[in-house]
């Protein structure tokens, strides 16, 4: 074999190797791509399967399901067909989430500021671990703690005082119950604190130091510096709050265990109520017949799904835009 | 301009309030931990861990099948969820510029935030309707919870692998797939393991999806197409029992076991990620 042939041989070997390699790489690429597509398939299947299950209810009650106020799977008069409407559930979900935000957000912002602006760094590490532990505790344990520790405490100490001082307001009137909408809101507030505070802390930590230095140079106090930081990270904080709202809306077990599970268009926060999530957890396994009962519960789940996705997607959008803004500002 | 004294006072008040918020948030945590330990510890015994669950209100027995059930369902969910999550994460990190990847990344975030009860409904409609209340249905629902968490952390871990390592492999003539699967993956394995642990910690305490899929049972595991028990479900059932003197200690005992598992995983996570950030 001549030298030339030898080198020709070698070259073609390399070429075929490279070809093989390219095909191997494209096989690899195609495989991971297919696996990554699971996300589209899963979400598609979830939407399809739940809509399919809810279809009977959607057909029977139409759009009125959203503002109907009766929930009668077994009407007292057996000739009357069962009827379902979700307004009290939507009401319960919105009010408990609103209470959670009202109580949880100021506390979370306080924590985020304390950790990012006021406290020494060595202290941060251990404290943020404890705050994050709040997120790790399973929701059923929150529920158990809610029933046997939180409720007795609130019912005997806080609620009577609350009624004595603010009893003239319509939502603090009536008999005080431990298993009530207010208790549900309070437990949700505790559960969203780790989410909101952790993200806000990261947002504050991302605020460029030049901002802090500038305001300190003007002679600001620590609180005035913190206000500038909060103002700078405002949209990120809004995103964090909305993620907290998303968590509050979808939370199931803890709230099911403390809200009292009563289908009720409540006006007083001391009344028991129900949320979209709690009614599913509470009634689904027993709802074998009539078929429209299960279907109505699935429609409640579908509304919850839509609500959670809307809240979370807008939260992502807000956070994404705010981090982009900060990045752009840093580049200038 | 407000007076200096006023600003000083305001500063003091606001900072005290921030620290007060910190303390207020830690009270429930302390209360949950203290109550679970003080009420759960007296209930701890050999029989609690290893005996069958008695009917509500009956003394004796334990939560053995619930512990077994949780182990089985979480393992099965991990077998399904981890490979899918890791490979999706590889795709998102290695082909990050493609339009499909950014769509997948967004939907992954959406899936992370789907309420767990909705996944329970899905598990019911997708599996339970076909084969009945079963371990498989529960494992599928939990796997769907795991996938976005594992995907996300795998992607982040792979992105942290220095380009030089990758270049070294490519310079040696290693094809891309081999580079990814051996060199890149092994330098990212700590981050990936963190994500997997995080996902396992999260699903082992989940109740809502299991309620609608594995239903709960008092007996030992009897097949993948049968209902089974789980620790969170047992806690829920005991908490709803009218026979509080008998069933409540069990609920707290089960909670202590569950909190112990979750805490251990979290402390491992904290410890293993410490060098990276600290």
Q: What is the ipTM of this complex?
A: 0.92
8 Å CB contact of A313 and B239: no
Which of A5-19, B86-100, B150-164, B245-259 has the weakest average pLDDT?
A5-19
Q: What is the pLDDT of residue B278?
A: 33
- For position B276, what pLDDT does the model report? 47
CB of B107 less than 8 A from some CB of A: yes
Crossing angle of the two packed helices B135-159 and B64-94, in degrees rounded to 10: 40
Judged against a pLDDT cut of 90, whether residue B177 lies above it is answered with no
Q: Coil, strand, or helix at residue A275?
A: coil
Q: Do B263 and A197 touch (CB under 8 A)?
A: no
Sequence spans of domains, chain A? 3-62, 83-331
The predicted model gives B36-44 an average pLDDT of: 94
State whether residue B8 sits within 8 Å of chain A by CB: yes
The domain covering A83-331 belongs, at the CATH homologous superfamily level, to MetI-like (1.10.3720.10)
Environment class of residue A131 by beta-carbon count within 10 Å: exposed (0-12), middle (13-18) or buried (19+)?
Answer: buried
Q: Does the beta-carbon distance from B236 to A253 stay under 8 Å?
A: yes
CA dist B73 → A103, A135, B76, B86, B205 (Å):
36, 22, 5, 20, 12
pLDDT in tens, chain A (332 residues): 567 777 777 777 766 766 666 688 888 888 888 888 889 999 999 999 999 999 999 999 989 999 988 898 888 888 888 889 999 999 999 999 999 999 999 999 999 999 999 988 888 888 888 888 888 999 999 999 999 999 999 999 999 999 999 888 888 888 889 999 999 999 999 999 999 999 999 889 888 899 899 999 998 999 999 999 999 888 889 999 999 999 999 999 999 999 999 998 999 999 999 999 999 999 998 877 788 899 999 999 999 999 999 998 888 888 777 777 766 766 65
Interface of A with B in 247-306 (CB under 8 A): 247, 249-253, 257, 277, 280-281, 284-285, 297-298, 301, 304-305
pLDDT of residue B277 exceeding 50, the answer is no
Categorise residue B60: left if φ over 0, alpha if ψ from -120 to 50, beta otherwise.
left
What pLDDT score was predicted for residue A13? 73
User: Domain B46-277: which topology?
Assistant: MetI-like fold (1.10.3720)
Q: Are A268 and A172 in contact (CB under 8 A)?
A: yes
- Residues A294/A287, Cβ–Cβ less than 8 Å: yes
List chain B residues with CB under 8 Å of A110. Answer: 17-22
B136: left (phi over 0), alpha (psi -120 to 50) or beta: alpha
pTM of the model: 0.91
Contact A141 B113 (CB under 8 A): no
Residue B137, pLDDT above cutoff 90: yes
Query: Which of B5, B12, B32 should one mutate to test binding to chain A, selecting the residue with the greatest count of A CBs within 10 A?
Result: B32
Cα-to-chain-centroid distance, residue A54: 23
Q: Could you tell me the residue ranges of all domains in chain B? A: 4-43, 46-277
Exposure string of B95-132, with b = 16+ CB inside 10 Å and e = fewer, is eeeeeebeebbebbbbbebbbbbbbbbbbbbbbbeeee
pLDDT tens digits along B47-95: 899 999 999 888 888 899 999 999 999 999 999 999 999 999 999 998 8
CA dist B243 and A50 (Å) reads 36
On chain B, the residues whose CB falls within 8 A of the CB of A53 are: 121, 125
| B109 contact A CB<8A | yes
Closest of A150, A108, A139, A98 to residue A255, by C-alpha: A139
Provide the 10 A C-beta neighbour count for residue B258: 26
Instruction: Name, in order, each residue with C-beta under 8 angstroms of A127's C-beta and a sequence gap of 6 or more.
Output: A115, A119, B22
Mutation target to probe the B interface, by most B beta carbons within 10 A, among A31, A34, A35, A39 is A39
Instruction: Tell me whether B208 touches chain A (CB under 8 Å).
Output: yes
Q: What is the mean pLDDT of residues B242-265?
A: 92
Nearest-by-Cβ selection for B35 from A40, A145, A308: A145
Residue whose structure tokens are 């297919």? A34
């Amino acid at each position: 074999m001549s030298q030339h042939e030898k080198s020709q041989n070698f070259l073609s070997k390399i070429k075929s190797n490279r070809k093989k390699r390219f095909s191997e790489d494209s096989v690899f690429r195609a495989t991971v791509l297919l696996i990554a597509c699971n996300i589209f398939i899963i979400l598609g299947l979830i939407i399809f399967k739940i809509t399919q299950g809810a279809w009977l209810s959607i057909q029977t009650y139409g759009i009125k399901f959203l503002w109907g106020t009766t929930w009668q799977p077994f009407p007292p008069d057996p000739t009357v067909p069962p009827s379902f409407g979700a307004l009290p559930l939507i009401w319960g979900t919105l009010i408990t989430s609103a209470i959670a935000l009202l109580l949880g957000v100021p506390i979370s912002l306080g924590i985020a500021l304390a950790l990012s602006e006021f406290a020494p760094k060595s202290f941060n590490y251990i404290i943020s671990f404890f705050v994050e532990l709040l997120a790790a505790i399973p929701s059923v344990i929150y529920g158990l703690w809610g029933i046997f520790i939180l409720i007795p405490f609130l019912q005997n100490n806080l609620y009577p005082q609350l009624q004595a001082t603010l009893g003239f307001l319509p939502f603090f009137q009536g008999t005080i119950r431990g298993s009530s909408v207010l208790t549900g809101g309070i437990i949700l507030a505790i559960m969203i604190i780790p989410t909101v505070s952790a993200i806000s802390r990261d947002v504050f930590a991302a605020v460029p130091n030049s901002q802090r230095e500038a305001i300190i140079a003007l002679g600001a106090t620590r609180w005035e510096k913190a206000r500038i930081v909060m103002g700078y990270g405002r949209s990120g904080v809004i995103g964090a709050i909305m993620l907290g709202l998303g968590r509050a809306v979808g939370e199931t077990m803890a709230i099911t265990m403390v809200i009292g599970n009563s289908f009720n268009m409540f006006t007083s926060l001391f009344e028991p109520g129900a949320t979209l999530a709690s009614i599913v957890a509470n009634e689904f396994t027993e709802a074998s017949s009539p078929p429209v009962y299960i279907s109505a519960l699935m429609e409640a789940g579908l509304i919850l799904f839509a609500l959670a996705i809307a809240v979370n997607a807008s939260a992502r959008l807000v956070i994404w835009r705010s981090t982009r803004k900060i990045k752009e500002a840093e580049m200038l | 301009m407000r007076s200096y004294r006023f600003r000083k006072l305001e500063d003091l008040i606001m900072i005290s309030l921030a620290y007060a918020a910190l303390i207020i948030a830690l009270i429930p945590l302390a209360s949950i931990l203290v109550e679970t330990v003080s009420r759960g510890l007296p209930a701890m015994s050999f029989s609690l861990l290893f005996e069958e669950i008695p009917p509500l209100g009956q003394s004796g027995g334990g939560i053995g099948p619930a512990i077994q059930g949780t182990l089985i369902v979480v393992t099965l969910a991990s077998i399904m969820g981890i490979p899918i999550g890791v490979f999706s994460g590889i795709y998102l990190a290695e082909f990050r510029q493609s339009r499909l990847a950014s769509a997948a990344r967004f939907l992954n975030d959406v899936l992370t935030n789907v309420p767990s009860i909705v996944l329970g409904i899905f598990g019911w409609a997708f599996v339970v309707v076909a084969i009945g209340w079963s371990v498989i249905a529960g494992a599928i629902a939990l796997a769907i919870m795991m996938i976005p968490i594992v995907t996300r952390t795998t992607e982040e871990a792979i992105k942290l692998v220095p380009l030089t390592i990758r270049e070294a492999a490519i310079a040696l003539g290693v094809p891309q797939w081999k580079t990814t699967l051996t060199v890149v993956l092994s330098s990212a394995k700590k981050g990936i393991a963190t994500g997997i642990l995080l996902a396992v910690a999260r699903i082992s305490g989940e109740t809502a999806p299991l309620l609608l899929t594995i239903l709960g049972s008092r007996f030992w595991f009897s097949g993948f197409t049968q209902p089974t028990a789980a620790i969170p479900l047992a806690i829920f059932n005991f908490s709803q029992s009218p026979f509080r003197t008998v069933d409540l200690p069990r609920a707290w005992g089960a909670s202590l076991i569950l909190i112990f598992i979750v805490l251990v995983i979290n402390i491992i996570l904290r410890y293993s990620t410490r060098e990276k950030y600290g």
